[in-house]
Every structure is written in structure tokens, then in C-alpha cells.
Structure 1
Amino acid sequence: MERGASNATAGLEVGELRRAVTRGELVAYYQPEYDLTTGRPVVLEALCRWVHPDRGLILPDSFIPIAERSGLIADLGRAILEQSGRRAAEWHQRGLRVGIAVNISPSQLTPAFAEAVLEIVHGLGLPRWTVTAEITETPALLESCDEYRALAALIDGGVGISIDDFGAGTTSVEGLRRMPFTEVKIDRSLMRDRRAEADDLVAECVEIARAQSAIVVAEGVETADDLERARRWGCDRAQGYYFSPAVAAEELEPLLQPA
């Protein structure tokens, strides 16, 4: 998940957002995850932007809460999944084997939602593990059988599950042990925290991930020192402004290489 930076958008209304979904005003920008062994971008996280006809480019901090409160979050998520999925399918047809990651709200996680996601992914002809759904653990998630079944169904169908923001105070070590996942992302707050306790928490996270054969991604990598710390932690991938902010797909294409 990207570093937030809200812009001035006072007065945004639900009706505007509903129209934005239907009119195609919501677009995906992409922030790459780099493989620390090959040095290549291997996954692009799709991050929603609203290209408002009057206000210009609006960042997600300003409209995601509206989408959550109004129940539009599922429509918004589907629009970004379909858009980024089509882009991934195009890249794959050109031999550019890169995965995409899409953020999912915990409120969306139902067996019906998982079925809809798999229908989109399989309909686009994307290979297994091309798409990853990023989700932040919540207490409710740990208590819901339906949400667990949705996570398991996505993994069974070849969609990866990334546990986002580990260490930010939401995702716990105990929660990580209990959830099915294929990837875990270490929150940028731990990258900024230079205490030994932060290193110990990451070490626990890496140990749990290794037991599940899961990928570990360091978020918030902004300097060469951050990158070296991610390597010491044993991370497989890194993401952050050191490599690239979230940008339009066309800006990333020159970085993608045939598999």
C-alpha cells in the first residue's frame, strides 16, 4: 500500500463517485515490487486514482472512505481489477510476465466476491498467480468463517493473498499464523523504526512466512540504507520511492522485460 498524501477535495459527494465508476474516471496507477535477487520489477501494485473532470487527479485517501461508507467499494474494486487485469493480459501477450496486485477491502471478502474475482481473472486468461489480492488483517477477519472461505477459495483458484501493513498495529503475529496467505508486506513503519524490537518482529514475520512458503516484501524502501536493511531482514522483494512512486502504466513499460 502506498504512502498517503491527501489533496484538497472538500465537498466530494457519493453521487460524483458513483458516476466516476460508471464513466471510467477511476484509473490504475502502478507501483512496482522489485525482486531483490534479479533486480527486476516482478509485481505492479494497482493503486486507484480518480481523474475528476473539474478537480483533476484525486488521490485515494480522499475518496476511499466515501466508497467504504456508501457501499461503492465493491464497484470501485471491481473496476480497478478489471482495468489492471486487462493491462496484465496485454503485457502477457507481449511476453512481459509481470504480476499485478489489487487492494481489497475486508468488507468485500465473501465467497460470492471470491467467485466474481476468479471469474474475471480466468475470463482474461491470466495464468495462476498473476493476480494478488492485498488485504489488511482486521479482528473481524479473524472471526469470520465466510471471509476465511473467501481467502481459501481465491488461493485455490490461483489468486495470491498478500497480508498488507504487517507491523502497523493492525496485523499481528498471531493473526498471521492463523490466516492463509501467499505473501506478507512489512509496513513502512518498521522500516523507519531502528529499534531492535522492530528487527525481532520482522524476524518472526519472516519465519512464519517461510513456514508457509510465502513471499516477504519490504514496503517503504526510500534509501539505499533501507534497501540494505530489507536484504538483512531476508525479504524477497522491496517496494518504495527508492524504486518508483505509483505512476501510469506507460511509464513502467520500459522497465518490464520478457520472461
Structure 2
Amino acid sequence: MEREVRVAIGELDAQELSHAIDTHELQIHVQPQIDLQSGEVVAVEGLSRWTHPTRGPIPPTDFVALAEATGLIHDLGLFALRECCRIGRTWRERGLDLAVAVNVSPLQLQTDRFFDELERQLSDSGLAPADLIVEVTEAERIADYGVVAGRLDVIQEWGVTVSIDDFGSGHSSIERALAVHAQELKLDRSLIAGADWEAVGDAVALAQEGGMRVVAEGIETREQLEQVRAAGCDRGQGYFIARPSDPDAFTDWLQSFLR
């Protein structure tokens, strides 16, 4: 029996989510990342958004939880992967040099399906592997780090970047990132909001010693931006820089940002 997942605006079931995925009711919004030294926009994170026809916006935490509880995470993940590859390729054709990060659940990494689909989507879209970042969420839920590391090694050989999300939230650690041979570590917004800049600096030093690039998430003030830059973070992301938006609105924002 499928577990029931409730949202604040009412009940939501797997059939509704499946229908939303099949009918393109979901959309990908993007949030930029900047290089903290040059200030240039270098990448975006693709974020799934769902506006229900009668209930309005559904919080991502709710529909992702539903997807993981019912097995729809594989369909949801494929939707996000396909759209991120398409968006990234479209931008390349327009001359925009931006990498695109797609969120991937540990549940997806436990099957061959994700890796088969990743290869297929890169081929079908024509997106260069170097323009894609696979962002692993909640790394503590990976069941077998050895198996997952071997699979992620293969896609890194293609040129895809592997990133570990949520550091500082309890969902990931430097050790877990190293165990899957990640090339990037993302500091969780809770770590930035906590303003423990010594801890941030220590995390950056450990990650960079392990050969990882460090991205600070959840930057909401100029002070936070300056602090993560001073701590040695490589990239930054957050509302102070730009909120997530649909790709067209982001393109308009980027043109203004570049002027």
C-alpha cells in the first residue's frame, strides 16, 4: 500500500503526481551560481516546480517525498534530467556558456535506469557532458557507497561533474563526498544562515584538500556573500544573487546582469 503524504493545502496522491509528470504540469526553474572571485555567472541549478491546477504551488519537499515514497522518483528524476539537458543545450546554441545542475536522489543511483537514461539524454539532447552537474541529495541515504562510487566514476569519465548537496544539514559529510569521488561539495543554507564562519572555513579547507570545488547555497545578504568569499568558497548561490525563475525570465535577468 502506498504511503499517504499530506501537504498543507490538502491531500495529494501518486496518481496526481504521475499525471502531472506525464502532462508536463511540472516545470524546471533555474537559479544561478556565480564564481565568487570573478563575479561571473557560471552555472545554474535546475529545480522542479509544480503548480497544481486547483491547489496552486505544491512545495517541492512535499511532492519529492511523495515521489520517493511511491517509486515515482524515477519518473520525476527523468523529467528533471531531460529538461535540464534540453535547457542547457538551448543555451549553448545561443552562445551562453553555463553548466546545468540536476538534483538526483540516492534512490535513483541504486538502479541502472538512471545511468542508462543519463547516457541517452546526453546523446539525444546533444548537451556536452562537461555542461552537466549531477547533484546528489541526502547522501547519507546511499546504501552501498562502493557500488555508487563505481557508477559515478563512469559518468565522471564521460566529463559529467558529481556534486554532493546539503553539507552541514546532517545529510552529507566530507567523508561521504570523498567516498563517491565527488568533484564538488555544496554547503547547505543552514550552515550559511548559522553564520559560523570558522566552521565554513574548516569545511572549505577539508573539501579543497580533497580536490573538491565548494559552492555556498542560501546566500541572502551581502554580508553572507562577503563571508563565504573570504572563507574561500569557489561559487555562490542564493536569493541575494537571484531567485529561481523560469528559463526565459532567467535569460532576461542574465542579459541585465551582464550589462
**Shared fold (TM-score greater than 0.5)?**
yes
Classify the secondary structure of the residue corresponding to 1:129: helix
Amino acid in structure 2 at the alignment position of 1:227: L
* 1:23-62 equivalences in 2 (<5 Å): 23-62=23-62
Task: For residue 92 of structure 1, report the CA deviation from its aligned partner.
Answer: 0.3
Change (3 A) 1:126 1:229: same
Q: Highest relative contact order (Cα 8 Å, sep 6+), 1 or 2?
A: 1
Amino acid in structure 2 at the alignment position of 1:236: D
Q: Aligned residue pairs: how many?
A: 250
Match of 2:247 in 1: 249
- Segments of structure 1 that go 5 or more residues without pairing to the other structure are 1-5
Amino acid in structure 2 at the alignment position of 1:73: I
- Looking at structure 1, the residues matched to 211 and 20 of structure 2 have their Cα atoms a distance apart, in angstroms, of 40
Task: For residue 81 of structure 1, report the CA deviation from its aligned partner.
Answer: 1.2
Classify the secondary structure of the residue corresponding to 1:34: strand
Change (3 A) 1:211 1:119: farther
Match of 1:138 in 2: 139
Classify the secondary structure of the residue corresponding to 1:162: strand
Classify the secondary structure of the residue corresponding to 2:163: strand
Match of 1:17 in 2: 17
8 Å contact kept, 1:96–1:256 = no
- Looking at structure 2, the residues matched to 52 and 129 of structure 1 have their Cα atoms a distance apart, in angstroms, of 34
- Looking at structure 2, the residues matched to 8 and 145 of structure 1 have their Cα atoms a distance apart, in angstroms, of 39
8 Å contact kept, 2:139–2:164 = no
Calculate percent identity across the aligned residue pairs: 36
8 Å contact kept, 1:173–1:204 = no
8 Å contact kept, 2:86–2:127 = no
Match of 2:168 in 1: 167
Match of 1:149 in 2: 150
- Looking at structure 1, the residues matched to 156 and 111 of structure 2 have their Cα atoms a distance apart, in angstroms, of 12
Residue 199 of structure 1 pairs with residue 198 of structure 2: yes
Task: For residue 59 of structure 1, report the CA deviation from its aligned partner.
Answer: 2.5
CA RMSD across the alignment: 2.1
Task: For residue 205 of structure 1, report the CA deviation from its aligned partner.
Answer: 2.8
Match of 1:188 in 2: 189
Classify the secondary structure of the residue corresponding to 1:243: coil
Residue 225 of structure 1 pairs with residue 226 of structure 2: no
Change (3 A) 1:86 1:177: closer
* TM-score of the pair, normalised by structure 1: 0.88
Task: For residue 122 of structure 1, report the CA deviation from its aligned partner.
Answer: 2.8
- Segments of structure 2 that go 5 or more residues without pairing to the other structure are 1-5
- Looking at structure 1, the residues matched to 52 and 138 of structure 2 have their Cα atoms a distance apart, in angstroms, of 31
* 1:84-95 equivalences in 2 (<5 Å): 84-95=84-95
- Looking at structure 1, the residues matched to 7 and 250 of structure 2 have their Cα atoms a distance apart, in angstroms, of 24
